[in-house]
Structure 1
């Protein structure tokens, strides 16, 4: 559960550090000396069984405003369809990825589908032309080459 006094659904990003397997565990770094506690986007996550009176949230809204891979921001907004499915959802639906080259290939494929369907441009039109997706592919390629 998330410990936070907010009276609205918390917005948390999960894909930022996802591994090639699609595992979200890399987004959670344990708090040293505090078992089963993890910070996520500055919010403390802890187990239900503690019996604390601190304000908590059992549900949250996933929010990925920008396309980020391995902590590297591509500089591209994460567009969403009318049903709420975002570009990152389509990309990560292909996980687990067989190897480092598979993630950039999936990114290119997903971007091509979004472009051809006219769903949204992943990013704003740049002064020199293009919609910013070249930055997205460069960012994911850098991360995949690590």
Structure 2
């Protein structure tokens, strides 16, 4: 079924399509024109000027343009403390970034072995396999594959 298919119009007994009668809105629109109440799209009338509270009119924001005017700041102990806190925070941030960069570098690079590490690694010997119990004999390669498949299927 097509989702945009329009339904077939209903037919009356004569085979003509049934059409809903048009609604006459002229009387309704005339009533709307006669009323003086503002509609939802009309702005409110301007007679609300008396409702404004004028007691705070004397308070104005004092925005002055300080651009280009030099200001002198007195250096005191509180500013010195702020400067020390800022430097300590920057040093901590820098140290953390250095550690992050170092750990990322170590993760991506392979460790380099020294000569003594290589000698120690070459001296390692694989341990011999453990002896099997007397009642068990070593399994052939085929038996090992069968056991693997049995484990896989179960």
Q: Same fold, TM exceeding 0.5?
A: no
TM-score grouping bracket, smaller chain normalisation: under 0.3
Greater share of residues in strand:
1
Query: What's the TM-score once normalised by structure 1's chain length?
Result: 0.15
Higher relative contact order (CA 8 A, sep 6+): 1
Greater share of residues in helix:
2
Query: What's the TM-score once normalised by structure 2's chain length?
Result: 0.14
